[in-house]
Structure 1
């Protein structure tokens, strides 16, 4: 059963690897800048939108959008990731009130994370630097989450009172990898998180980025050792903040056992929302998406150090 999917054990130096990466990333000055956005979303009611740029690990300059409440009253922050298709626009609505929300682009991915030398398509991006744990792109993508938090808190100091994270698919898996090591993040919502239980994923054909990794690993079995350091389920064993997870019972792109492995491994307070499917249209999809959004808002709503367990 999905609720019994296990977790790959971490390498002995798993925590050392990630805390070291986090320390190096936090030493980077994000040097954020924001300017009023000309994006169509900026004209929607309910808040103001700014174009944002900031620096992440390796001196990579990334972009995104910052949305502020219409009345300018900020009591918290929200960092929002994206799927493996990237992000072309900020969301029209911020899922919590009185929040400054930063919608950022991860390195290499469209539209505001595009970087020369890093592939911009999922099947190529997921293999970038995979031969070594020190060069694998997912380490840099986790660092981008930390840099986004730094940029948000620098641009809107009031947001530092409480910062939450929201990520779907690619953004869910990268969030699981990044969040355990950064004590500035209070709680998280992950949806159909990817990269969970690589040993199991590599046995399961799919339509997503995991298929590219599966094919590559057949020809290059040595990458199994690298992937041990980038397993979202393994990282979830170290994630102790309250975490809400949207889980799909069927998913052609991110096999459900990997998603459930992330949820099952969480070390802190957790809540789940079951979706009929992920990464594919289905009857009732809009209704379930609305219900999931409501559940996320309820989970993130309380102000203070953390939502109730």
Structure 2
């Protein structure tokens, strides 16, 4: 059922999130520090038994030079620079197995699938630890290190995402000028962060994105993972202002203001995990060309396979010439590029 604003109000909704004065300086310093570490990209072929795709086990240096795993999948025998999709995953997931997640490479793209440090319990596995410690936190990752922007978990994860784009672009099989980012839920939030931090991406797809509009998300839903904030602040109640100050440096709303790449977003009006107002908070602030598809009767699954079709359409349009919507279905006029 609907528990958020009507769609007409969603399209006018303005977040109360603060845009910190030193937001850009903080991220410039963070990424400059990361750049002091060589990317150290290693690429090892994996024998998957697949006939149509080649798969490689990739390691690169993320935040603080710490090793991050990824999969690279390409059409079998590909050597020329390909349009490339860098994918980030949802909360609790990891890169999974080498023979999973074959759609994007099967469609002709190079597919760079980043692992998530310390995650990997929610339906797929991870091979990347989070090497940093933490002060008090609620179980999960949303409050890990939230006492300061320097120690917050998502500082490390967002930096990993930027470095993943750089690592992908360093590969001969990747066309550095035709790289897009995508993700669902937390992955959508990471895609928005990358869009705000990497100035020359070719396309962005953020499906039912998480990590947007923390001031509203923390009070409008009792579903996890946002519930972790409520649990933490109900005990550490004197830290409320400090925690929200930290979160303002990691909010998709503020990254959206700085993003310029063409962006496709989806929202589900019955989503209790990423309420549609939090998604529209980022969409309404997005500074580049954008479109959003709304699914009125769906929850956090969004449009599922329909969103896969929208994703392929977006990347075909912006990463290479030609190609319409799979199956020949026209994109509704109301959802065309703004």
Is residue 2:186 matched to residue 1:176?
no
Q: 1:204 to 1:123 in 2, by over 3 A?
A: farther
**Alignment match of 1:249 (pick from 255, 262, 269):** 269
Is residue 2:141 matched to residue 1:133?
no
The CA RMSD measured in Å over matched residues stands at 2.5
Q: 1:54 to 1:171 in 2, by over 3 A?
A: same
Aligned length: 299
TM-score, scaled relative to structure 1 = 0.88
Which whole-Å CA distance do the structure 2 matches of 1:263 and 1:306 have between them? Answer: 26
TM-score, scaled relative to structure 2 = 0.81
Q: 1:58 to 1:150 in 2, by over 3 A?
A: same
CA apart distance, 1:91: 1.0
**Alignment match of 2:52 (pick from 13, 26, 46):** 46
Q: List gaps (5 residues or longer) in structure 2.
A: 1-8, 121-125, 323-335
Which whole-Å CA distance do the structure 1 matches of 2:107 and 2:226 have between them? Answer: 35
Structure 2 matches for 1:91-106, cutoff 5 A? 91-94=101-104, 97-106=107-116
Q: Which residue of 2 aligns with 1:161?
A: 177
Is residue 2:91 matched to residue 1:69?
no
Q: List gaps (5 residues or longer) in structure 1.
A: none
Which whole-Å CA distance do the structure 2 matches of 1:303 and 1:266 have between them? Answer: 17
Runs of 4+ in structure 1 over 4 Å off = 116-119, 303-309
Which whole-Å CA distance do the structure 2 matches of 1:190 and 1:95 have between them? Answer: 19
Structure 2 matches for 1:1-309, cutoff 5 A? 1-7=9-15, 8-38=17-47, 42-72=48-78, 73-87=80-94, 88-89=96-97, 90-94=100-104, 97-110=107-120, 111-117=126-132, 123-156=139-172, 158-218=174-234, 219=237, 220-221=239-240, 222-275=242-295, 276-279=297-300, 288-302=303-317, 309=337
Q: 1:277 to 1:118 in 2, by over 3 A?
A: farther
Please tell me whether the aligned partners of residues 108 and 118 of structure 1 are also in contact (alpha carbons under 8 angstroms): no
Of residues 77-86 and 249-258 in structure 1, the stretch that sits farther from structure 2 once superposed is 249-258
